[in-house]
Amino acid sequence: MFISPAHAQAPAGGGGGGDPMSLTIMMVLMFVVLWFVMVRPQMKRAKEHKVMVEALQKGDEVVAAGGMVGRITKITDAYITIEIADNIEIVVQRGAVQTVLPKGTIKSL
């Protein structure tokens, strides 16, 4: 036997994980940062969209999901009818409206 077995040496400086309190503080700080960077802005956008959808009225010019641009002709509780060209109307869910355009944006209808 020419090779002797190697034994691992313990790292210098004591190394054993760290203080459990500092780990807890780091976890809480990470959660707080995630809350302010991701969750809170998403909740704000959802609230703004809900207010916009509730304020829709006949004659508004809108962009629906998929990029369909048109003018609202009928509104019910769950659905709206959008005129996308002369005598061509589609029915979409109210939540499918992404943006309300300024009046006069659509000129070809």
Q: Looking at the structure, give the CATH architecture of the domain made up of residues 57-109.
A: Roll (2.30)
Over range 98-105, report the average pLDDT. Answer: 91
Structure tokens at 70: 């048109």
Residue 20 pLDDT level (bands cut at 50, 70, 90): confident
Label residues 59-79 b or e (16+ Cβ within 10 Å = b): ebbbbbeeeebbbbeeeeeee
Check pLDDT > 90 for residue 94: yes
Reduced 3-state DSSP string for 56-68: CCCCCEEEECCCC
Which is more confidently placed, 17 or 91? 91
**What is the pTM (predicted TM-score) of this model?**
0.68
Structure tokens at 24: 């807890």
Which is more confidently placed, 60 or 8? 60
Give residue 15's pLDDT: 53
CB neighbour list of residue 108: distance below 8 Å, 6 or more residues apart: 85
Helix (H, G, I), strand (E, B) or coil at 4: coil
Check pLDDT > 60 for residue 92: yes
Strands 61-64 and 97-101: antiparallel
Note the pLDDT tens digit of each residue in 46-73: 999 999 999 999 999 999 999 999 999 9
Check pLDDT > 60 for residue 13: no
DSSP for 15-69, please give it: -S---HHHHHHHHHHHHHHHIIIIIHHHHHHHHHHHHHHHT--TT-EEEETTS-E
Give residue 106's pLDDT: 86
Give residue 53's pLDDT: 94
